[in-house]
Structure 1
Amino acid sequence: MKGSLWNRWELHMHTPQTKKNDCFKGGSIDEKWENYYKWIDEYIDENNPEKNIKALAVTDYLSIDNFLKVKQDNKLPKSIELILPNVELRLALQGKNSPVNFHCIFNPDFVNELEDRFFSKLKFYYNNREYSATKRELIKLGQDSGKNSSDEEVLLKKGIEIFVIELSCLRKIFENDKELRDNTILIVPNSNGDGASGLQADQLEGVRNTLYKLVDAIFSSNPKDINFFLGKNPNFDKRKIIKEFRTLKPCFHGSDAHELEKIFEPDMKRYCYIKSDTSFEGLKQTLADPEDRVYIGDKPPVLKRIESNPEKIIKKIKISKSSSENRTNDSWFSNSEIDLNPQLTVIIGNKGSGKTALADMIGLCANSKQYSEFLFLNKFKKTNQAKETSVCIEYQNGIRSNKKNLNEGIEEKSETVKYLPQSYFEKLTNEIEEVEKFRLEIENVIFQYLPEQEKGNSQSFAEYRSKIGKIEKSKISNLKNEISKINEKIIKLEDQSKADRITRLELDLKELEQTIKIHEEKKPEVINYKKELNNNIKLKKYERHQTKLINVKKSVEQSLKNLIERKRNLEEFSFELEKRIGEIKAYIESKENLLDMLKIDICFKCSYDSKLLRDTIDELDERINRYNMFIKEDSKGNFYKGNSLIGKLEFCEMKILELTSKESIEFQKFKDSEKEYSDWETKWKELLGEPNNPNEGSLNFLKNELGYINGDLTKDLEELEIKRQEFSKEIMEIKRDILKKFDKTTISLQEILQQNHEENIKVINEFVLNKDFYKAFLSNINQGRISSYKGLNDGEIFLKTLVNDYIEEDNHFSNIEKLLNNLVDSLKYINRGGKKEETDLSSIIYNRQNLYDYLFGLDFISNEFELRLRNKKLDQLSPGERGAVLLIFYLLLDQDTIPLLIDQPEDNLDNQSVANILVPYIKQAKNRRQVIMVTHNPNLAVVSDAELIIYVNIDKEKNNKVSYLSGGIENPKINKKIQDILEGTAEAFRIRDTKYYI
């Protein structure tokens, strides 16, 4: 036997004469059945896993008649090894379209009990009379319902149509009959129409939870349902599923065929594969291991692996005895063929039963490099028994190894099995009983990879690690300053391009254009006195002095502005010059030890005339003061006179007053009208704004702003973001320098340890997120606002999901640019209803400057290098855990996909280490390669969910005859053997009682 294998199971399929919706083709009942059997026969293809149905659950409403007929007819293909009765009934619970359906798949060996212990116990009340679900009672119900027919089949269908069962009645039946319950798998569909998901609002949570708690499995192919009932929903994990619904639930699926064309063909090729013996107990085993034993889809990944690499799967071991008349009387290994499972095969038996002998035989045929560690063969290879026994292995593709006598050695060929004998690990674990020895063992493996020139004077890995290159902090600081400046500009552009700001600008522009239009309509007329008074000397003086006044004003303002600007530039230059000289001197002084060691003498001199620079600044300051003196009043309220600009300004103003006071009324009108026009023109220019440097809020300002936003802003923003990324990459390169010397030494180890997302053991030699990253990031976010990070829990989940999507655990941050972009994008946008919407950054980020500086300065990245187990340091590990770590450390170095053979790994482990550390690796390894394990502790086989268990026994009273018994955990005989040889009692493994029939 090969144990638990992946096969297609059809657990929900009707037949002709089904009590509802019989749509099978045929002119008569007999013809329908003939067509039914023919269709199935033509569909089945034993060479195609997708069409090789191994088990069929014949489904009907409140009846097993069709199941019994299929069994009696015996016309199904012989490849269908198991036929199960599936009784479908309806609950007195209303789904969306109809009452909720319910399925009971019974042990076919228990069908003779169903009439008295199940159907007769189901109760339905109609017109003040109680009816059971026996055939006779259902016919009576059909009659009493008013159905006018003498045909019992018609009346039976009518009775079934009416009959619904209270959930409490169903639950009571199974609570009161443990044997019935043990021989029944209860299933509820999860569809909206006739399943638990469709329960009406007034029946929802309480009843639905009761229903889920009662059933063992769910009929659904929806991936969301599958993950939910496996406890993979982040809001409803495994503990909550078990607490609320009693157990994790497998999701089964079937074609629900009521017609020929639907037979074995569910929608979307969502076939139901089950990994077990083809037995009712095998099906029950899925209840203990719903995730590992049920697959909904076109084909399980394991089957695809077997098809792709059949040469890497050992199909069987063939042992043969010599036919020589001179052979010994010792039976020892007789002629036999032992099948192996393509996933995990565990060889069990009492000590001295011949388990290791099988492992050594496989290693011999596969040319294992550990030949010198073969305990059994090295002990017996010179005996007559070894000479009389030959062995070979056959692979899945039919190719066999060379037949070998047990006293032969290995061939000069590549090994086709990775064999890890027990003694191989014993030698290692005996040398690392203490923590420090264990640490040295691990670190020395890495240290040995270092080139001698890299080691330098270091005598150990720890010493070497403490001396490797340090990050140039001053350079990183300068880069961070540049990033901060860029971030300031980016934030300004982000604010400029906000949608609400654009809307506001557009509204302002529209309103301003209307204001300008109204203002232009109010343009005043200027009384034209200029022509009449052309020769008027007074008017010419007025115009001349007015022009001079304007020029004087501009001259005063510009001169003062120029002086202040020149002074500021000189002061900034002086400050920066002093700062740079100081930095250079400080840097040279900080490297004094290095320069002395390298015998390098650096003489740095920098001189300049600081007095000349200071005198120039003082002179400018004095001139500025003089200008200010001209502008300010003295202590008596008098202005300074003379040839100063302010004096000229006062002179012009005096002349204007003199002229204007002597003008005629007509000229005053002209002056007033001209002032009115001047005021209008000033306002008009203010509304329009200058073309090149318009005042804020003017027409040209708004147009320029909108034009920039719609034009060059995006390009400028992208250029700044690119520059920011370049600086971040420079920082990352500096950080990476500290790891470069490790890359060549640990890359192979890291690759192996990183293959699995759920690794328990880690060699930390890379960049990692700071432990406070999520807290630091989210502390900058207003999680009460609408964004990708809204909600404390949801926001954290979103952030962790985003980061994990782009940073595999313990990687080298080689894609840091993409991570940063996605972090920023997650802030800028939110997906709502499948649409990408822009957020308001200013409202969701408390301080963008701080957050951007934090992210792009890469403050959230640090480096670590340490070996840890479940985040526990070496000195925190138990002796059993230390043994497990070393075992895992060496096992994971092997990335090959050839079969992996391990002999008694538990000898150096405690039970807790076996269950919590070794088992997860074995369970995952068996999905990517064939694993064969020898153990005298069957618990290891059970907790590792072995697909095949081979029980080996040696009978010394029968000339040391070795015998084998094979099967899956669900096989009753194997189950009994497991209990017989358990180390301790079955009570010790109560946690796995779903796997033991006790």
Structure 2
Amino acid sequence: MSKKLVDEMIEAMNKAEPAVFAIMDYWTFDGWFALKQRLSEGDAPKLTKKVFPGIELRLSAPTEKRLNAHVIFSDEIADQHLKDFLSNLKIERLDRSVSKDALVDLARSTAADMLAKKGHKREIVESDYADALLAGYKLAEVKTESYKRAIASVPNEFAIGFMPYDTSDGLIEVKWEQHYSYFIGLFESSPIFESRNLELRTAFLCEKTSTNHAWIDNFKHGLKGIPRLVVAGSDAHCFVGAAGNEDKRGYGDFPSGKKTWIKADPTFHGLKQAILEPGKRSFIGDKPPKVQEVESNKTFYIESIEVSKIGDKAGVGRWLHGCDIPLNLDLVAVIGNKGSGKSALADVIATLGNSKQSKHFSFLKKDRFWGKTGEPARHFTGTLTWRDESTESRPLNESPSEEKAELVRYIPQGYFEELCNEHVSGKSNAFEKELRSVIFSHASEEMRLGALDFDQLTEQQEQSLRNRLGEYRKELASTNASIVRIEEQLQPIELKKLTDLLLLKGKQIEEHDKLKPAEVAAPTEAMSLEQKQAAEGLAVANQQVEAARKRSQEIAGETTEIAKRQKAIGNIREQLRLLQRSFDQAEKVVSDDLKFLGFAWSDLAAIDIKTAILDEKSTELVTKQGQIKTEAEKLAEGLDAVTATQQGFTAKLNAPQQQYEAYQRQLEEWNAKRDELVGSITEPETKVGLETRIEQIKELPQQFKDLEARRLQLSGEIFDTLDAQRRARAELFKPVQNLIQKNVLIREDYRLQFQATLAASADAIADQLFALIKQTSGDFRGQDEALATVRGLFDGHELNTKDGAIAFIASLQEKVLAAAKAAGSDAGIFSVLKKGQLASAVYDLIFGLNFLEPRYSLLFQDTQIEQLSPGQRGALLLIFYLLVDNGKNPIILDQPEENLDNETVFRLLVPVLSEAKKQRQIIMVTHNPNLAVVCDAEQIIHAKFDRALDSTISYESGAIENTRLNEVVVTILEGTKPAFENRYGKYH
């Protein structure tokens, strides 16, 4: 090739879209040698792309059509090894090595009719070396076994053979049923196949689908279960193609747009890495999904991290100064020995990404890089550059302000433990909030109904249930108050007090009876006219006094009745006010819905509260009250006058008459006093009143029993309402559960399930209960014993069922009553109440089920999160965040394998990390080779700390197939080569 032609080739490669090229000449390496020669010359243009030497051959095959084969070589291969490769190929008819002379001899030994089929004339072939060589290229076929041996003989595994399968002159042309050994020999030995059929590519990856399930097992058997890399070459025959002309494709022109993408370093080692992980490392099509994802969401991907030292203050140290690392957009593994600066890098990225997990930082914290006063962190500035070219810079001694949006999700090991443990103990609802956030992110717009977050959504959906719950608990509080009042009256001391009072009242009546005035007989002697008139006047006055006193008593009764009626009117007014308020509140609640539907509230509901009749009645009572008040005042004045008249008449009587009159007055006063002591059922301090109260106490046990029954009924209704809330929330996680069902990994291997439960915590119940009652008696004697009692009851009942919940509160109430009885209470729980606490508050807690609430949780492999080990809980959270969380922010993981054995790492974390990196950027700090290697991390960052070198933290970055990083991985990750056995070939 001329220099000009080679220069044109270099220019075409540099301008074309692909990053890697392979020169595939038929039968020769002339193009490769020409390129190498030109690039070695001083005036050669610069080649910016990676180029591999290659060759296209034709194999001897049992097929009517020719069978092509390709070999690609490392660009580091020696020229002599390429020549040796050709010499190891044997031409079928001649049994000679491939050479130009051998090809010429092949053509000249071929019959004329065969030459004619290839477009050559025998006489010209005999006389023209060039024509004979061209004919030899067309006619030659190499022995298949020599092709295999030639590849195997190339030193350093610098040669890779690949076969076209269903593309031009591919292996599919061989009828494998008739030539099974030949077919399967090439099938098994080829690391790469060429195909543009995406379904066929799936089969070569050993993946079962709905369309290949009938034959994939046999296909995999032929591949010995080893997935193959499938490529679709451009098959360019000119440097620059002609648009729309498939016969004149140039560099970067791919048939049907089927481009081959390889995710690896553009090196031969990178190609070999793709062969090892073809499903993860290759794609055929316009753009891989992850590339499209990144291009559409540049604000969610970190481009690079940089740290620089500010100023030159002595004694500060270099630390992270000079750190400038481009970050891969898939999985980045940060490795290194303990104390090498792995977590330092994670903390810096997290704080610049405005993480809210600063309390879990292990490097950027006091007594570490912040010291006590921000030293030496204040002398360093970090800069995070995003894919959209936006940046975030900040001195490393500053935390992000609270109002800044969190751009990364940092999940350090401490956060795993805190989130899980506090969720299990009930001390925190942080995990519940995480679940709610994810559930809301998966909810459809139809389900959200305009709500901006989960709390708004549940507020909309559960308003009626919450109102119902409030009404039930309000009635329960009233019932508990009535129960407490009865318990107060059922105290033995209460009955004894009333009995003693009744005895005392009896004695008072007996003593009063002894004071009855001695009877005085009516005088019999004749009276003078004046005395007779006085006696008659006195009789009339006495009648007036008695009438006045009687009327005064009636007025007192009427006044009491009026007050009762006014109170009844007030009660009715208050209930009507509450009714109106509830009605108005209901209108406010549905106001947006009314506007949306175009309805007026008045079209749907109306309330007609008529207070006029109450006003009229109240006015009537006020008037009546005024009238009887005036009457009472006149009676009092009249009584005073009559009393004076009585005295005047009495003075005119003789001695016997005066004595009799005095006796009558005394008897009347005595009778009045006795009536006062005997009393009535409405006078509680009288004999009849006390007897009535004693009889009422005797009836209290039945009332108490009825109230207890109603209380349990209310608890059941409260449970039903809480369960209705739980069912409503279960509907909300259907979209995310459907997502899980579509993911085979989560559905079948992890069996991850969302669960809406009525959750409670024994410790939380104990905390609330023992804030109200003492821990000094019964099964509650002692803090540890009291807590153990509550935990025992809690573990012995299924609070997610109505029967279980009711049985639990009944058992708990029984324990509280027993403790109270042991402390001296014959009725109620007054003896165990803490100072200032009310028995009704204890009952409201227990029977109101205030400790029970609808909550979300996760089941992992059919096991409740509470029953998992700490390590398994961490794995569950990681699965949740990486596969279920709908967010796109980069995730930073700090040693996610902590507390997990190797088997769990392989079984749980490796698949989930491999799956998650398809959707988002993951930066993982780890010391475990099983994660960095088996997850096929796209980037390795090796951290190293040298205190002697001015406290320098340095980072070395590259792909796992990078020779230097490969050595580091083996050495640093506790990793001898046995750690790589499951992925043989990932190191060199």
TM-score bracket relative to the smaller structure: 0.5 to 0.7
Amino acid in the other structure paired with 1:254: G
Q: Distance in 1 between matches of 2:954 and 2:752?
A: 42
Aligned to 1:498: none
Aligned to 2:36: 71
Q: Distance in 1 between matches of 2:290 and 2:224?
A: 30
- Aligned-residue offset at 1:365: 1.1
Q: Secondary structure at the match of 2:966?
A: helix
Question: 2:166 matched to 1:191?
Answer: yes
Aligned to 1:124: 91
Q: Distance in 2 between matches of 1:989 and 1:438?
A: 43
- Aligned-residue offset at 1:114: 2.6
Q: Secondary structure at the match of 2:888?
A: coil
Contact 1:132–1:138 (CA<8 Å) still a contact in 2? no
Listed one character per residue, the Cα deviations across residues 506-527 of structure 1 (whole Å, up to 9, x for unaligned) are xxxxxxxxxxxxxxxxxxxxxx
- Aligned-residue offset at 1:347: 1.0
- Aligned-residue offset at 1:904: 1.1
Aligned to 1:163: 140
Question: 2:203 matched to 1:228?
Answer: yes
Listed one character per residue, the Cα deviations across residues 276-317 of structure 1 (whole Å, up to 9, x for unaligned) are 100011011111111111111111111112211212211111
Contact 2:53–2:73 (CA<8 Å) still a contact in 1? yes
- CA, structure 1 residues 437+335, in 2 after alignment: closer, same or farther (shift >3 Å)? same
- Aligned-residue offset at 1:964: 1.3
Q: How does 1:574-589 map to 2 (within 5 A)?
A: none
Aligned to 1:340: 327
- CA, structure 1 residues 876+204, in 2 after alignment: closer, same or farther (shift >3 Å)? farther
Aligned to 1:300: 288
- CA, structure 1 residues 253+870, in 2 after alignment: closer, same or farther (shift >3 Å)? farther
Q: Distance in 2 between matches of 1:442 and 1:419?
A: 15
Which of 360, 364, 374 is the equivalent residue of 2:351? 364
Aligned to 2:561: none
Aligned to 2:418: 427
Contact 1:429–1:908 (CA<8 Å) still a contact in 2? no
Amino acid in the other structure paired with 2:96: Y
Listed one character per residue, the Cα deviations across residues 941-974 of structure 1 (whole Å, up to 9, x for unaligned) are 2122211111111123322221111111111111
Unaligned runs of 5+ in 2: 111-121, 243-248, 437-453, 471-708, 715-722, 758-855
Amino acid in the other structure paired with 1:322: I
- CA, structure 1 residues 32+892, in 2 after alignment: closer, same or farther (shift >3 Å)? closer
Listed one character per residue, the Cα deviations across residues 776-815 of structure 1 (whole Å, up to 9, x for unaligned) are xxxxxxxxxxxxxxxxxxxxxxxxxxxxxxxxxxxxxxxx
- Aligned-residue offset at 1:377: 0.6
Question: 2:72 matched to 1:105?
Answer: yes
- CA, structure 1 residues 192+978, in 2 after alignment: closer, same or farther (shift >3 Å)? closer
Q: Distance in 1 between matches of 2:967 and 2:745?
A: 34
Aligned to 1:205: 180
Aligned to 1:483: none
Q: How does 1:12-411 map to 2 (within 5 A)?
A: 40=13, 44=16, 52-74=17-39, 80-95=48-63, 98-115=65-82, 117-126=84-93, 129-145=94-110, 148=125, 152-175=129-152, 177=153, 179=155, 182-191=157-166, 193-200=168-175, 203-232=178-207, 233-237=212-216, 241=220, 244-245=223-224, 247-259=226-238, 260-261=241-242, 262-263=249-250, 264-324=252-312, 326-328=313-315, 330-378=317-365, 379-382=368-371, 384-408=375-399, 410=401
Q: Distance in 2 between matches of 1:157 and 1:871?
A: 69
Listed one character per residue, the Cα deviations across residues 816-836 of structure 1 (whole Å, up to 9, x for unaligned) are xxxxxxxxxxxxxxxxxxxxx
Matched residues, number: 587
Contact 1:880–1:913 (CA<8 Å) still a contact in 2? no
- Aligned-residue offset at 1:455: 12
- CA, structure 1 residues 118+351, in 2 after alignment: closer, same or farther (shift >3 Å)? same
Contact 1:94–1:100 (CA<8 Å) still a contact in 2? no
- CA, structure 1 residues 431+742, in 2 after alignment: closer, same or farther (shift >3 Å)? closer
- Aligned-residue offset at 1:376: 0.6
Q: Which moved more, 1:912-921 or 1:103-112?
A: 912-921
- Aligned-residue offset at 1:364: 1.4
Q: Distance in 2 between matches of 1:131 and 1:445?
A: 71
Q: Secondary structure at the match of 2:956?
A: strand
Q: Distance in 1 between matches of 2:197 and 2:975?
A: 42
- CA, structure 1 residues 225+243, in 2 after alignment: closer, same or farther (shift >3 Å)? closer
Contact 1:99–1:194 (CA<8 Å) still a contact in 2? yes
Amino acid in the other structure paired with 2:964: K
Q: How does 1:743-782 map to 2 (within 5 A)?
A: 743=730, 746=733, 750=737, 753=740, 756-759=743-746, 760-765=750-755
Listed one character per residue, the Cα deviations across residues 477-520 of structure 1 (whole Å, up to 9, x for unaligned) are xxxxxxxxxxxxxxxxxxxxxxxxxxxxxxxxxxxxxxxxxxxx
Q: Distance in 2 between matches of 1:870 and 1:290?
A: 30
Aligned to 1:542: none
Q: Which moved more, 1:898-907 or 1:873-882?
A: 873-882
- Aligned-residue offset at 1:419: 1.2
Q: Which moved more, 1:265-274 or 1:918-927?
A: 918-927
Amino acid in the other structure paired with 1:265: D
Listed one character per residue, the Cα deviations across residues 537-558 of structure 1 (whole Å, up to 9, x for unaligned) are xxxxxxxxxxxxxxxxxxxxxx
Contact 2:883–2:916 (CA<8 Å) still a contact in 1? no
Q: Distance in 2 between matches of 1:880 and 1:392?
A: 34
Listed one character per residue, the Cα deviations across residues 659-712 of structure 1 (whole Å, up to 9, x for unaligned) are xxxxxxxxxxxxxxxxxxxxxxxxxxxxxxxxxxxxxxxxxxxxxxxxxxxxxx
Q: Distance in 2 between matches of 1:94 and 1:80?
A: 42
Q: How does 1:947-962 map to 2 (within 5 A)?
A: 947-962=938-953
Q: Distance in 2 between matches of 1:268 and 1:346?
A: 37
Q: Distance in 2 between matches of 1:413 and 1:360?
A: 17
- CA, structure 1 residues 395+357, in 2 after alignment: closer, same or farther (shift >3 Å)? same
Q: Distance in 1 between matches of 2:47 and 2:138?
A: 35
- Aligned-residue offset at 1:336: 2.9
Aligned to 1:612: none
Contact 1:368–1:419 (CA<8 Å) still a contact in 2? yes
- CA, structure 1 residues 69+446, in 2 after alignment: closer, same or farther (shift >3 Å)? closer
Aligned to 1:903: 894
- CA, structure 1 residues 427+338, in 2 after alignment: closer, same or farther (shift >3 Å)? same
- Aligned-residue offset at 1:59: 0.6
Amino acid in the other structure paired with 1:123: K
Contact 1:231–1:239 (CA<8 Å) still a contact in 2? no
Q: Distance in 1 between matches of 2:199 and 2:352?
A: 46
Q: Give the structure-1-normalised TM-score.
A: 0.53
- Aligned-residue offset at 1:993: 1.6
Amino acid in the other structure paired with 1:368: S
- CA, structure 1 residues 388+61, in 2 after alignment: closer, same or farther (shift >3 Å)? same
Give % identity.
32
Q: How does 1:982-993 map to 2 (within 5 A)?
A: 982-993=973-984
Q: Distance in 2 between matches of 1:443 and 1:897?
A: 20
Amino acid in the other structure paired with 1:404: P
Q: Distance in 1 between matches of 2:755 and 2:26?
A: 62
Contact 1:327–1:388 (CA<8 Å) still a contact in 2? no
Amino acid in the other structure paired with 2:415: Y
Q: Distance in 2 between matches of 1:257 and 1:401?
A: 45
Highest Rg: 1 or 2? 2
Q: Distance in 2 between matches of 1:89 and 1:935?
A: 46
Unaligned runs of 5+ in 1: 1-16, 18-28, 45-51, 458-593, 600-735, 768-864
Q: Distance in 2 between matches of 1:937 and 1:341?
A: 20
